[in-house]
Structure 1
Amino acid sequence: MSAAAGPSVGSPSAAVFVPPHDHDDQVRMRHAHAAAARTFKVTPAGPDVWGWQGRTLGRRAGRWWLRLVCAPQDKRNLRLWEGTATAHQALPRSVPRPRLHDVLEWSADRHAYRAELSEYVPLPALQTGGPVLTVDLELPSLWWADLRLALEATSTVVTDRQAVRQQWVDKNLTRFLGIPAFQVSAWTTGHGDLHWANVTGPPLVMLDWEGWGQVPVGFDVGLLHAYSLAQPVTAARIRHEFAHVLNTPAGRAGELVALAQLLQVASRGGHPDLAPRLARHAEHLTGTPVPI
């Protein structure tokens, strides 16, 4: 789920969250980050960049980005925990992304830690402060072509990782869209959390690959479009550039799953300004009113 994503790997300019509420947790995370820096023999100098619920802490360290992930020792989500490393191993080099340099894992005080040293990306993300687009973007045709090529290259990767599960569709589609759940007929390998705080440009660099895996066809671009609904020019550009995906039955199904996931986030208080637009667009696609 996109709501659970941390800040982007390799860049400080993606969705930024607040430090943990508990001061002791802040101190513990900073100490662990410093310990990883000593092991890697790097010197962090950039500001703290916290991830969702204080689960991650990243800082620039020269030409590197040092990101620390933490979880209770018995509650690690292995898909997210290992996502950056498995993406580094599996994705074609043609997919523009920060390269992972080294990984370190350890446990202490009933917590598991994972430190990842990646290339630092000096480009800002196209949206800061969160994934929802707040201003229309004027991106050149080459950028859109690069995004299409990157998603096509990603789709060629064979993996058993699941970024979206049919079980989630079965359980939640009716609840959030008001339509009968359907069997996803076409799956592909995707980013899994494609939004404007996870891309730079130009040139294009795609950040935060921890949640990559199998998604319904149309899910990635449907998610990017949904996060753009408040900016109609950019939203229309996405539909134009990816008409070959979104204007197909499989692509429409993937877009509906993306909308349902964001409506679930909205039901928990996330993206309150975007929620009515999500509901209206879902109704436009299905003909069924969506209560919010």
Structure 2
Amino acid sequence: MDKASGKLWTGPEEAERLVPRRLPRPCLRLVHQWTEGADAYKAELYDRTIGGTLSLTPTPGTATLPPSTTWWSDLRTALVRLSRVRTDRVAVRQAYLDRAMPKYLAFLGGAVPTKPPAWSTAHGDLHWANLTGPGLGILDWEGWGSAPAGYDAALLHAYSLGAPAIAAQVRHELAADLDSEPGRFAELVVITELLQSAERGDNSDLVPALRRRAKEVWAQGCPR
């Protein structure tokens, strides 16, 4: 029950209230909450999505790709509109960046920056299992909130690194977010997060590619 008022608990309802309906996401119709002893439960009823998720996992290994030109255009538009949503929700905390980035990026061999050049509103979990096609849909709004600018594009790209052709497509289609100082910083942020989660056994096969990409971003120049 102590988790029943946290960010993940309230995220979907706050998205329904604050995120514009023109963003492609299923409408939340009903919410039912109850408790049993020390446990809290919540059930949510959404509109049925059209099509299906592009992958069964966050990585594109089983994905139905590549999406269409229209799909990518719709995603770029959605990310811009979402970035402008005003909220006091936080997806990535500065305290986490200060603590984790120097630890997990120590192999870069320099003083790792921890202050984002800019912040904006992000979905916070933009990966292939939360995206639908053939028409774009964005699922799973529990963790949305403020994050380093370019965070969503950087996360989708990081999860794609195990499939170089798809990663290259993400870099091309979302270049406006990634090919910038904020975008390079956001890449280091999500690489930090995924390297940390790999210690728990999540997507450990991505670790070599994540480390290579961090070195590439570092060589390109990042706010120091």
**Both structures adopt the same fold (TM-score exceeding 0.5):** yes
Tell me by how many angstroms 1:77 deviates: 5.8
Any idea what the Cα deviations from partners look like across 1:117-170, whole Å, max 9, x if unmatched?
Answer: 111214210001x21111572221111000001111111110010000111000
Aligned with residue 195 of structure 1, among 99, 109, 127:
127
Q: Which residue of 1 aligns with 2:99?
A: 171
Q: Which residue of 2 aligns with 1:133?
A: 60
Q: Is the 8 A contact 1:135 1:231 kept in 2?
A: no
Q: Which residue of 1 aligns with 2:182?
A: 250
Bigger Cα Rg: 1
Aligned with residue 154 of structure 2, among 222, 237, 245:
222
Q: Which residue of 2 aligns with 1:231?
A: 163
Report which structure shows greater RCO (CA 8 Å, sep ≥6). Answer: 2
Q: 1:158 is matched by which residue type in structure 2?
A: R
Q: Which residue of 2 aligns with 1:161?
A: 89
Range with greater deviation from structure 2 (275-284 or 165-174) = 275-284
| 2:220 counterpart of 1:275 | no
Any idea what the Cα deviations from partners look like across 1:230-277, whole Å, max 9, x if unmatched?
Answer: 111111111111212211111111111011111111122211211111
| 2:120 counterpart of 1:120 | no
Q: Is the 8 A contact 1:187 1:217 kept in 2?
A: yes
Q: 1:203 is matched by which residue type in structure 2?
A: G
Q: When you count helix as a share of all residues, which structure comes out higher?
A: 2
Any idea what the Cα deviations from partners look like across 1:96-133, whole Å, max 9, x if unmatched?
Answer: 011000111121121111111111214210001x2111
| 2:154 counterpart of 1:204 | no
Instruction: Specify whether residues 122 and 202 from structure 1 end up closer, same or farther in structure 2 by C-alpha distance, changes over 3 A only.
Output: closer
Q: Which residue of 2 aligns with 1:26?
A: none
Instruction: Specify whether residues 160 and 191 from structure 1 end up closer, same or farther in structure 2 by C-alpha distance, changes over 3 A only.
Output: same
Tell me by how many angstroms 1:202 deviates: 1.4
Any idea what the Cα deviations from partners look like across 1:184-211, whole Å, max 9, x if unmatched?
Answer: 1200101000000000111000000110
Q: Determine the C-alpha separation between the residues in 2 that align with 1:83 and 1:99.
A: 13
Q: Is the 8 A contact 2:50 2:135 kept in 1?
A: no
Q: Where does 1:6-85 land on structure 2 (aligned, <5 Å)?
A: 73-76=1-4, 78-85=6-13
- TM-score calculated relative to the size of structure 2: 0.91
Moved segments of 4+, more than 6 Å: none
Q: Is the 8 A contact 1:169 1:182 kept in 2?
A: yes
Q: Determine the C-alpha separation between the residues in 1 that align with 2:67 and 2:60.
A: 14
Q: Determine the C-alpha separation between the residues in 2 that align with 1:245 and 1:75.
A: 33
Secondary structure of the equivalent of 1:211? coil
Q: Determine the C-alpha separation between the residues in 1 that align with 2:93 and 2:2.
A: 23
Q: 2:60 is matched by which residue type in structure 1?
A: L
Q: Which residue of 2 aligns with 1:184?
A: 116
